[in-house]
C-alpha cells in the first residue's frame, strides 16, 4: 500500500466535507421544503384571513412574494453549493427574521380578528341604526305628506281669506254708505219721534178729554135705561126687555172701556215711585183679590220670586192684568194650570206667567199689546183689549221689555223683564 500523501488527505477531507455539506444541504433543503410547505399553508391561511381583514390580505401577498423569492433561492442553492454555505447564514438570519415576522403577523392577525369582531358589532349596530333611520324616514314621509296636505289646506284658507277680506272691504264700504244713510234716517227718526211725542201728548189729552166727556152721557143712558126698567117694566114684552138689557149691558161695557182708556191716558203722565217690591207677597195679594172678584178653578203655582225695585201700585196693575188673562184664557180647560217664575239674566230680572189655555198664533203676536187689539172674539172671551197695552206702557216706563210666546190650543207664556238697577 502506498503511503497517503498530504494531497490525498486533503481530497479525503474535501470529500468528507462535501458529503457533510451535501448532508447539511439535504437537511436544509428538507427544512426549506418544509418551510415552503409551511409557507404555502400559511399563504392558504392568509388567503382565508384575507376575507376577514383587508390589511392581512396585503401582508399575505407580500409573504407569498417572499416565498417565491425563497424558492428561487433554494433552486439556486442546489446549483451553487458553495454559495449556499455562505447564504445559509443569511437564510438562518432571515429565517429568524421570518419567525419574528410570523409572530408579528400572528399578533397582527389577532388584532385584525379583534377589529373584525368589532366591525361585526359595529355592522350590527349600524344595521339597527339603519332600521331606526328607515322607520324615521317612513315617519318623515308621512309627516311630509301631512304637512303637504296642511299646506294645501292653508292655501285654500288663505284664498278664502283673501276672498273674505275683499268681501269685508266691500261690506265695509256698504256699511259706510248705510251709516251715512242711517245718520240721515236717525235725524228723520228724531224729528218724527219729537213729532210723535207731541202727537201722543195731544192724543193723550184728547183721549182723556173725550173719555171724561163721555162719562156724563153714558151715565145718562144707563140711568134712563134703569128708570125704564123700574117704571115701565110691565109695558115691555120679552123682546123689549131683552133690548133694554142689551142697552144696559153695553152701557156697562162702555163704562169699563172708558175707565181703561182713562187709565191708559193717565199712565203717560204718571211719575213712577220706585220701592223694593216683594213679588211673592204682591202676587199672593193679587191672587186673593182676583179670587174674590172671579170664580175660577185654576191651579196657580209660584214660589221664590225674585224681589224687584219698581212702583208697587203699577206692578200690582201688571200682575193683575197678566194673571187675569191667564185665568180667563185657560178657563175652558178641564184642569187649568198657571205657573209663575222668575230668573236673573244679564242684569235683568225676567218674570214669566205660563198657562195651558187656548194660546195664540205667533204670526199675530204683534197685535197683543195694541189698544183694542184682540185675537179672540168678545163672545168667546170678554174684555176691552186695553189691558195688555196698559201692561206694556207700565213695563216701558220702568225701562223694561214685555213679549209673549204661544201656540194655538197649547197655551201661552207672557214674559216681562225689568232692570236690576245694580
How high is the pLDDT of residue 401?
93
Cβ 221 vs Cβ 251: under 8 Å: yes
Q: pLDDT band at 277, cuts 50/70/90?
A: very high
How high is the pLDDT of residue 372?
47
The number of CA neighbours under 13 Å toward the Cβ of 241 is 9
Higher per-residue confidence, 55 vs 332 = 332
**Distance, first Cα to last Cα, the chain:** 165
How high is the pLDDT of residue 243?
83
Report yes or no on 70 lying in a domain. yes
Average of pLDDT values for 267-292?
Answer: 84
Residue with cell 185654576: 298
Report yes or no on 246 lying in a domain. no
Report yes or no on 14 lying in a domain. yes
The answer, yes or no, to whether residue 286 has pLDDT greater than 80, is yes
How high is the pLDDT of residue 377?
46
How high is the pLDDT of residue 117?
86
How high is the pLDDT of residue 35?
85
How high is the pLDDT of residue 173?
85
Q: What is the pLDDT of residues 247-270, one digit of tens each?
A: 877 777 666 666 666 666 666 556
Report yes or no on 101 lying in a domain. yes
The answer, yes or no, to whether residue 274 has pLDDT greater than 70, is yes
How high is the pLDDT of residue 381?
45
**How many domains in the chain?**
2
Q: What is the pLDDT of residues 338-360, one digit of tens each?
A: 999 999 998 899 999 999 988 88
Report yes or no on 237 lying in a domain. no
The answer, yes or no, to whether residue 211 has pLDDT greater than 70, is no
Report yes or no on 52 lying in a domain. yes
How high is the pLDDT of residue 284?
93
> DSSP string spanning 335-360?
S-EEEEEEEEETTEEEEEEEE-S---
How high is the pLDDT of residue 370?
62
The answer, yes or no, to whether residue 195 has pLDDT greater than 90, is no
The answer, yes or no, to whether residue 420 has pLDDT greater than 80, is yes
- Give the CATH number for residue 287: 3.30.565.10
Report yes or no on 166 lying in a domain. no
Q: What is the pLDDT of residues 63-77, one digit of tens each?
A: 888 888 888 877 777
Cβ 267 vs Cβ 240: under 8 Å: no
Average pLDDT value over all residues in the chain: 80
The answer, yes or no, to whether residue 280 has pLDDT greater than 90, is yes
Rounded to two decimals, the pTM is 0.44
Report yes or no on 392 lying in a domain. yes
How high is the pLDDT of residue 358?
85
Q: Which three-class secondary structure string do you get for 38-94?
A: HHHHHHHHHHHHHCCCHHHHHHHHHHHHHHHHHHHHHHHHHHCHHHHHHHHHHHHHH
Q: What is the pLDDT of residues 382-414, one digit of tens each?
A: 555 677 888 888 888 888 999 999 888 888 999
Tell which of 112, 132, 152 closes a domain. Answer: 132
303: enclosing H helix or E strand = none
Tell which of 66, 97, 132 closes a domain. Answer: 132
How high is the pLDDT of residue 389?
82
Tell which of 132, 148, 171 closes a domain. Answer: 132
The answer, yes or no, to whether residue 51 has pLDDT greater than 90, is no
Higher per-residue confidence, 325 vs 372 = 325
Residue with cell 207731541: 198
Higher per-residue confidence, 165 vs 204 = 165
Q: What is the pLDDT of residues 168-192, one digit of tens each?
A: 888 888 888 887 887 887 787 777 7
Q: pLDDT band at 193, cuts 50/70/90?
A: low
Residues 6+ apart with CB under 8 A from 325: 387, 388, 414
Q: Is 418 helix (H, G, I), strand (E, B) or coil?
A: strand
Residue 418, beta-bridge partner list: 349
How high is the pLDDT of residue 141?
85
Q: Which domain holds residue 50?
A: 6-132
Amino acid at each position: 500500500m502506498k503511503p497517503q500523501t498530504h494531497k490525498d488527505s486533503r481530497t479525503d477531507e474535501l470529500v468528507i466535507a462535501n458529503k457533510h455539506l451535501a448532508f447539511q444541504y439535504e437537511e436544509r433543503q428538507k427544512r426549506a421544503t418544509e418551510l415552503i410547505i409551511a409557507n404555502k399553508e400559511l399563504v392558504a391561511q392568509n388567503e382565508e384571513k384575507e376575507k376577514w381583514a383587508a390589511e392581512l390580505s396585503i401582508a399575505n401577498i407580500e409573504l407569498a412574494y417572499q416565498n417565491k423569492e425563497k424558492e428561487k433561492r433554494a433552486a439556486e442553492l442546489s446549483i451553487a453549493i458553495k454559495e449556499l454555505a455562505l447564504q445559509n447564514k443569511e437564510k438562518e438570519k432571515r429565517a429568524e427574521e421570518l419567525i419574528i415576522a410570523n409572530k408579528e403577523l400572528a399578533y397582527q392577525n389577532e388584532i385584525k380578528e379583534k377589529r373584525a369582531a368589532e366591525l361585526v358589532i359595529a355592522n350590527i349596530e349600524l344595521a339597527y341604526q339603519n332600521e331606526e333611520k328607515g322607520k324615521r324616514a317612513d315617519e318623515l314621509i308621512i309627516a311630509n305628506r301631512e304637512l303637504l296636505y296642511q299646506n294645501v289646506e292653508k292655501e285654500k284658507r288663505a284664498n278664502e281669506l283673501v276672498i273674505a277680506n275683499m268681501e269685508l272691504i266691500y261690506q265695509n264700504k256698504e256699511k259706510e254708505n248705510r251709516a251715512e244713510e242711517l245718520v240721515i234716517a236717525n235725524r228723520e227718526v228724531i224729528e218724527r219721534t219729537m213729532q210723535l211725542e207731541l202727537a201722543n201728548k195731544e192724543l193723550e189729552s184728547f183721549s182723556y178729554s173725550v173719555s171724561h166727556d163721555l162719562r156724563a152721557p153714558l151715565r145718562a143712558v144707563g140711568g134712563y135705561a134703569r128708570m125704564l126698567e123700574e117704571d115701565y117694566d110691565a109695558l115691555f114684552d120679552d123682546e123689549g126687555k131683552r133690548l133694554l138689557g142689551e142697552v144696559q149691558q153695553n152701557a156697562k161695557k162702555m163704562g169699563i172701556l172708558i175707565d181703561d182708556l182713562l187709565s191708559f191716558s193717565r199712565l203717560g203722565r204718571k211719575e213712577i215711585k220706585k220701592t223694593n217690591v216683594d213679588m211673592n207677597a204682591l202676587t199672593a195679594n193679587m191672587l186673593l183679590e182676583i179670587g174674590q172678584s172671579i170664580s175660577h178653578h185654576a191651579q196657580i203655582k209660584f214660589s221664590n220670586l225674585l224681589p224687584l225695585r219698581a212702583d208697587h201700585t203699577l206692578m200690582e196693575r201688571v200682575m193683575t192684568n197678566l194673571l187675569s188673562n191667564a185665568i180667563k184664557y185657560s178657563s175652558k180647560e178641564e184642569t187649568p194650570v198657571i205657573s209663575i217664575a222668575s230668573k236673573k239674566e244679564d242684569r235683568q230680572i225676567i218674570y214669566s206667567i205660563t198657562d195651558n189655555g187656548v194660546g195664540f198664533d205667533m204670526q199675530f203676536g204683534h197685535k197683543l199689546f195694541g189698544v183694542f187689539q184682540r185675537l179672540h172674539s168678545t163672545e168667546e172671551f170678554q174684555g176691552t183689549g186695553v189691558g195688555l197695552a196698559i201692561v206694556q206702557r207700565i213695563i216701558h216706563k220702568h225701562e223694561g221689555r214685555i213679549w209673549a210666546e204661544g201656540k194655538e190650543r197649547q197655551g201661552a207664556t207672557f214674559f216681562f223683564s225689568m232692570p236690576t238697577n245694580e
